[in-house]
Structure 1
């Protein structure tokens, strides 16, 4: 999608602080972190949210989870991290390209459960 912020990052048209990349996924630091470790994991293909991704391409959804685990390992939070997917504006989604927040290293700004 030409107007999607994350698609522009995937295309290399916008800069990002890359943490990890695979053939199908990209992970980069959040520009407004809510925890000491706050990395976004996205599929390179555009899907609006996690429900759409899961229904259309379960294997790619698995790749996103595997990348999130690799990021947690790289960032030193493998045993103590949170993985958050927001779906819909009412739940805090602001970029409508599915993305997982990998949060760790202390309390987060997402509300504790």
Structure 2
């Protein structure tokens, strides 16, 4: 873990080794502007706790994430926006440190573009899946 943290760009930003346009900072959370934005005001909210995927982060380290994302929405004046968090390369994650994007969607060209490949539903299979997942909650 230490070697991954040492090479992690977000951990370097947290430590102050790499500068950022810091919008918010507390003991466990950092928010800053994305330097490759999809739209004006695109920002990242990250837990300071290093973990690659959401399931690697203790619950108490996530408590400020959505409240800070809401503050960013208000501060940027975004009316339509996406809150995005990716886990793994196949799910479009590029930095292996949990991060949440707040991406304003001012028009059709700017912001996040999303495909939504819906699948046909077999109600019997859906009920079996429901029972399986609910049993593990």
CA RMSD of aligned residues (A): 1.7
The answer for the alignment partner of 1:67 in structure 2 is 68
Runs of 5+ in structure 1 lacking a partner? none
Q: Deviations over 1:46-103 (max 9, x none)?
A: 11122322xxx212222112221122122222x5321000100111111000000001
Give me the whole-angstrom Cα distance separating, in 2, the residues matched to 1:110 and 1:48: 24
With the length of structure 2 as denominator, give the TM-score of the two structures: 0.72
* Greater gyration radius: 2
Q: Given the superposition, is the C-alpha separation of residues 35 and 13 from structure 1 closer, same or farther in structure 2, using an over 3 Å criterion? A: same
Runs of 5+ in structure 2 lacking a partner? 117-137
Q: Given the superposition, is the C-alpha separation of residues 51 and 109 from structure 1 closer, same or farther in structure 2, using an over 3 Å criterion? A: same
Give me the whole-angstrom Cα distance separating, in 2, the residues matched to 1:27 and 1:84: 14
Q: Residues 22-33 of structure 1: matches in 2 within 5 Å?
A: 22-33=26-37
Q: Residue 43 in 1 paired to residue 47 in 2?
A: yes
Are the aligned partners of 1:37 and 1:104 in contact in 2 as well (CA < 8 Å)? yes
- Name the structure with the higher strand share: 1
The answer for the alignment partner of 2:119 in structure 1 is none
- Name the structure with the higher helix share: 2
1:112 offset after TM fit, Å? 6.0
Q: Which runs of 4+ in 1 moved over 3 A?
A: none
Give me the whole-angstrom Cα distance separating, in 2, the residues matched to 1:80 and 1:20: 21
Are the aligned partners of 2:82 and 2:105 in contact in 1 as well (CA < 8 Å)? no
Pick 1 or 2: higher relative contact order, CA cutoff 8 A, min separation 6: 1
With the length of structure 1 as denominator, give the TM-score of the two structures: 0.86
